[in-house]
A = this chain, B = another copy of it.
Amino acid sequence: MKQEHKIALLGLGTVGSGVWKILSEKKDMLLARTEHQFTIKKILVKDLKKKRSVSVPSSFFVSKADDILKDPEIDIVVEVMGGHEPAGTYITQALQAGKAVVTANKALLAERGVELFKLARQKGLSLGFEASVAGGIPIIKSIREGFIGNQIQELYGIINGTSNFILSEMTAHGSDFATVLAQAQKEGYAEQNPDFDVKGIDAAQKLSLLTSICYDVEPPKNGIYVEGIDRITPLDIQFAKKLGYVIKLLAITKAQYFNQPHSGAEGEAPSGLPVEGATRAPVIDARVHPTMIPEKHPLADVSGIYNAIFLKGDAVGETMFLGRGAGSMPTASAVVSDIVMAATGRGTSLTTASLRPMTLQSIEDLQSEYYLRFSVIDKPGVLAEIANCLGDADISIAAVYQRERDLGSRVPIVVMTHEALEKNVREALKKIDELESVLDESVLIRVLKR
């Protein structure tokens, strides 16, 4: 096995700078630990003259990708530029040229993962992506290697630091979304265009990858139900607290397995996979939305910019991983791990060996407990009307919270339901929202069972 590795970085932003720092400052430590030498040879940058947060001699910079992709000495390419293109093309070309690839690009992998993993596999190369989910937490490695003897049953992740930061601040200070968002933007915890984070898109891309590795299925591209935190109000956070819950943006993925062997009729077996060895494609419930978490649940305490992943495997039971989900050094920590794994022959391109097609469960088919908040004119009979609509839709009420009477004014009514079918809940809300005494659109927040 080759003991000296020449590495190229595509990009020198937040993550790239961290990778530069670790590889240049810890050469000796990595050599002692692995007996391999890691040297950055070239760095692709757009602007050769831009001022950088790390001091990198300009002799490392190249402005043409081909200077890297066609350099036979470079054996590991680290893509930390982000975005779909040209990142996708560069990764493809690097793999075709026989170079191992490490990437932190969840958007690209959620979209083109199957194609890229297949290529890596054909070429017998490693395509590492630990940094793409939950930053420094080695969750990909843990699921794919540590829990390889497990059928993963469910996973709950706090995997968007920006949303978690905003919700934590709203919870701590009772402030509203817009105020905290503005503050987070000022402090650099949120982007100027925050939609990608606060609308749950980032979390959904990561969840797509997690779903793929948890259940050996192709990453679902579309169809993951996504709801952001932008409509959460201090009032709902307050009610949640009173009821013993904390509101978090959760990425959830659960699988229902069917243990019959793959019959052939259920769909093509992925290439290279013995039909005998596969179980039928699972039905997967994958979604991202604000969730009321019982305050005693380990995820309830994960605040600020921390990420956490709680998962249940059939052998290992319940486990949780906590750490920084973003930032230069934590993410670089994961990238460097992937570089070392690729170099020492422990990188994995196993994923596609067992990627099965799967079916995503529609959000309408979800069975969950619900928090429902109605804005009503306080007058006798309103609650009865609401309760009737819920009852008609087969929704059973667990508890109702109403403030003291204040006849004629606008008041909130909160209903906690027992487990109900989301389709029914939506139908009931539609009818309730048409009631004369109901003033605003009703609020629905899914509740994690105690």
Contacts and interface: CB of A to CB of B under 8 A. Distances in A.
Interface string A59-88: 000000000000000000000000000000
A263 interface: no
A138 B141 CA distance: 9
Interface string A24-46: 00111111111100000000000
A277 to B, nearest CB: 4
B32 A149 contact: no
Interface stretch (A222-230, A323-331, A360-368, A436-444): A323-331
Contact of A323 (B27, B320, B324, B336): B320
Interface magnitude class on chain A: 35 or more
A319 B323 contact: yes
A177 B122 CA distance: 60
Interface string A150-163: 11000000000000
Interface in A298-330: 298, 301, 313-324, 327, 329-330
Interface stretch (A184-192, A285-293, A339-347): A339-347
A276 B28 contact: yes
Interface string A269-290: 0001110111100000000000
A142 interface: yes
Copies in the complex: 2
A147 interface: yes
Contact of A149 (B322, B324, B337): B337
A168 interface: no
B35 A272 contact: yes
A323 B354 CA distance: 27
A171 to B, nearest CB: 15
Contact of A142 (B142, B277, B279): B142
Nearest to A38: B149
Contacts of A345: 345-346
A278 B32 contact: yes
Contacts of A341: 145
Contacts of A344: 350
Interface string A107-149: 0000000000000000000000010000011100110011111
Contact of A146 (B26, B138, B149): B138
Contacts of A18: 315
Contacts of A346: 145, 345-346, 348
Contact of A29 (B146, B279, B301, B350): B279
Contacts of A320: 320-323
Contacts of A272: 35
Given A33-B354, A34-B350, A346-B348, 12 more contacts: A22-B315, A27-B277, A28-B261, A31-B277, A32-B274, A32-B279, A32-B354, A130-B146, A136-B313, A136-B319, A316-B333, A320-B322
15 contacts: A28-B278, A29-B279, A30-B148, A30-B149, A32-B273, A136-B317, A138-B141, A141-B146, A145-B337, A145-B341, A298-B301, A315-B329, A317-B324, A319-B324, A320-B323
